[in-house]
Structure 1
Amino acid sequence: MEKEGLAEFNVEILESCLVQPCLPDSPRSTLYLSNLDNQPAARVAVNMLLVYEGCANVLPDPAKTIRYALSKVLVYYYPLAGRLRKKEDGKFQVECTGEGVLFVETLVDKSLSILGDLEQLRPSFKQLVFRFPFDTAMEDVHPMVLQVNRFTCGGFVVGVTFYHILCDGRGVGKFLIDLGEMARGHVKLSIEPIWDRELLKPRNLLTQDLKLLEEKIESTSHSWEPPLYEESIQMSLILHSETIKYMKQRMIQECMDNCTTFEIVAALIWRAMTKALEIPVTQSTKNIFAVDVRRSFSPPLPNGYYGNCFVMACAEATINDVMNQPLSYIVNIIKKTKMSLNNKYLRSTIDMDQFPSSIISDQANIMLSDWRWLGYNEVDFGSGSSMNVFPMHWNENGINVSNFFMFVHPPKEKVDGFKIIAWMPLQKFQLFEMEVEATINQCITNDFKNQCNS
Structure 2
Amino acid sequence: MAAGAAVAAVAAATAAVPTVSKSAPELVSPAGPTPRGALPLSSIDKTAAVRVSVDFIQVFPPSPAAGGSVDDQDAAVAKMRDGFARALVPYYPVAGRIAEPAPGDVVVDCTGEGVWFVEAAASCSLADVNNLERPLLIAKEHLLPRPPPEEKLEDLILMAQVTKFTCGGFAVGICFSHLVFDGQGAAQFLKAAGDMARELPAPSVAPVWDRDAIPDPPKPPPRGPPPSFTAFNFVTQVVEVSPESIARIKDDFKASTGQTCSTFDAVTAVVFKCRAVAVALPDDAEVRLGFAASTRHLLTGVLPTVDGYYGNCVYPVGITRSSSAMREAALAEVVGVMREAKEALTVRFADWLRGGAKDDHYNVPLDYGTVTVSDWSRVGFNEVDYGFGEPGYVFTLNDDVNIVASVIYLRPPAPKRGIRLMLRCVEEPHAAAFADELAKFA
The aligned counterpart of 2:289 is 287
The aligned counterpart of 2:418 is 417
Q: Deviations over 1:155-212 (max 9, x none)?
A: 1100000010001000011111111111111011222011111221226x7xx9xxxx
Q: Is the counterpart of residue 393 in structure 1 residue 401 in structure 2?
A: no
CA contact (8 A) 2:316 2:362 kept: no
Match of 1:151 among 150, 165, 174: 165
Match of 2:272 among 270, 273, 280: 270
Structure 1 position 297, deviation (Å):
3.2
CA contact (8 A) 2:366 2:404 kept: no
Structure 1 position 372, deviation (Å):
1.3
Residues 67, 350 of structure 1: alpha-carbon distance in 2 compared, 3 angstrom cutoff: farther
Match of 1:71 among 85, 88, 95: 85
The aligned counterpart of 2:31 is 22
**Equivalences for residues 98-247 of structure 1 within 5 A:** 98-116=112-130, 118-122=132-136, 124-131=139-146, 141-202=155-216, 227-247=229-249
Structure 1 position 269, deviation (Å):
0.1
Structure 1 position 393, deviation (Å):
1.5
Q: Deviations over 1:318-338 (max 9, x none)?
A: 111111011111112111111
Provide the rounded CA distance (Å) in 2 between the counterparts of 1:87 and 1:271: 46
Structure 1 position 298, deviation (Å):
4.5
The aligned counterpart of 1:365 is 370
Name the amino acid aligned to 1:16: P
Residues 245, 201 of structure 1: alpha-carbon distance in 2 compared, 3 angstrom cutoff: same
Q: Deviations over 1:308-349 (max 9, x none)?
A: 001121111111111101111111211111111116634525
CA contact (8 A) 1:234 1:423 kept: yes
Give the unaligned 5+ runs of structure 1: 1-6, 442-454
The aligned counterpart of 2:260 is 258
Provide the rounded CA distance (Å) in 1 between the counterparts of 2:185 and 2:384: 13
Match of 1:92 among 88, 97, 106: 106
Residues 411, 355 of structure 1: alpha-carbon distance in 2 compared, 3 angstrom cutoff: farther
Match of 2:408 among 400, 406, 409: 406
CA contact (8 A) 2:146 2:159 kept: no
Structure 1 position 142, deviation (Å):
2.1
- Report the TM-score, using the length of structure 1 for normalisation: 0.84
Residues 369, 39 of structure 1: alpha-carbon distance in 2 compared, 3 angstrom cutoff: same
Give the unaligned 5+ runs of structure 2: 1-15
Helix, strand or coil at the partner of 2:232: coil
Structure 1 position 357, deviation (Å):
4.4
Helix, strand or coil at the partner of 1:361: coil
Residues 133, 429 of structure 1: alpha-carbon distance in 2 compared, 3 angstrom cutoff: farther
Residues 29, 93 of structure 1: alpha-carbon distance in 2 compared, 3 angstrom cutoff: same
The aligned counterpart of 1:451 is none
Helix, strand or coil at the partner of 2:196: helix
Q: Is the counterpart of residue 326 in structure 1 residue 330 in structure 2?
A: yes
Structure 1 position 249, deviation (Å):
0.1
CA contact (8 A) 1:9 1:110 kept: yes
Provide the rounded CA distance (Å) in 2 between the counterparts of 1:179 and 1:19: 12
CA contact (8 A) 2:25 2:147 kept: no
Structure 1 position 15, deviation (Å):
3.8
Provide the rounded CA distance (Å) in 1 between the counterparts of 2:330 and 2:101: 49
The aligned counterpart of 2:5 is none
- Report the TM-score, using the length of structure 2 for normalisation: 0.86
Structure 1 position 43, deviation (Å):
3.2
Residues 283, 115 of structure 1: alpha-carbon distance in 2 compared, 3 angstrom cutoff: same
Helix, strand or coil at the partner of 1:317: strand
Give % identity. 27
The aligned counterpart of 1:304 is 308
Name the amino acid aligned to 2:309: Y
Residues 281, 368 of structure 1: alpha-carbon distance in 2 compared, 3 angstrom cutoff: same
CA contact (8 A) 1:103 1:145 kept: yes
Helix, strand or coil at the partner of 2:43: coil
Moved more, 251-260 or 346-355: 346-355
Q: Is the counterpart of residue 51 in structure 1 residue 34 in structure 2?
A: no
